[in-house]
Amino acid sequence: MTAVADILKAKSSVAVHRVGPQSSVLDALQLLASEGIGALLVMEDEKIVGIFTERDYARKIALQGRNSAQTPVRDVMTRNVLCVRPSQSSEQCMALMTENRLRHLPVVDEGGKLLGMVSIGDLVKDIISAQQFIIEQLTHYIHGGGR
């Protein structure tokens, strides 16, 4: 089982993009688009107060006919943000994401300091890598490497 800390180390960028709760939804969407990401943490100073995702936009702005330039992120963000610790496994994160229908999990230390964020894509990539390693080992064993 891979620890979240190892997944963060393997990522090409651990920068977590963020906005303030007073930022407009339009500004948040522009940041999502320019960075090619699906979620932003909403932070006041160094405290996580919410998360804004593409799903929040689709359900709380687009479908309700709200104006993204005039709506602050605080009005549509998801407030109860589930976080994980760096010692948690990819399997634990995957279970948490599946159970709660999430695609992003902030990683925080014991004091609540933000260390990074993992996405469902990060976890799937890690699991596929682990499975590929097992397949290679079994193939090597089957073809005479295990004698």
Which CA distances in Å does 77 have to 18, 34, 59, 87? Answer: 12, 19, 11, 27
**Residues composing the chain:** 147
* SS3 category, 74: helix
**How far from chain centre, in Å, is Cα 13?**
13
CA atoms of 21 and 41, how far apart (whole Å): 9
Q: What is the pLDDT of residue 136?
A: 82
Q: Is 103 exposed, middle or buried (0-12, 13-18, 19+ CB in 10 A)?
A: middle
The C-alpha angle with vertex 32 and arms to 72 and 30, in degrees rounded to 5, equals 65
Cα(115)–Cα(109) distance, integer angstroms: 7
Q: Can you spell out the DSSP letters for 81-145?
A: ---B-TTSBHHHHHHHHHHHT-SEEEEE-TT--EEEEEEHHHHHHHHHHHHHHHHHHHHHIIIII
Domain layout of the chain by residue ranges:
4-145
Pairing of strands 39-44, 47-53: antiparallel
Q: What is the pLDDT along the chain (147 residues), one digit of tens a residue?
A: 789 999 999 887 768 999 999 999 999 999 999 999 999 999 999 999 999 999 999 999 988 989 999 999 999 999 999 999 999 999 999 999 999 999 999 999 999 999 999 999 999 888 887 777 778 888 888 887 655
Q: How far is CA 119 from the centre of its chain?
A: 3
Q: Which CATH superfamily is domain 4-145 in?
A: CBS-domain (3.10.580.10)
* Spatial separation of the C-alpha atoms in residues 28 and 120, rounded to whole Å: 21
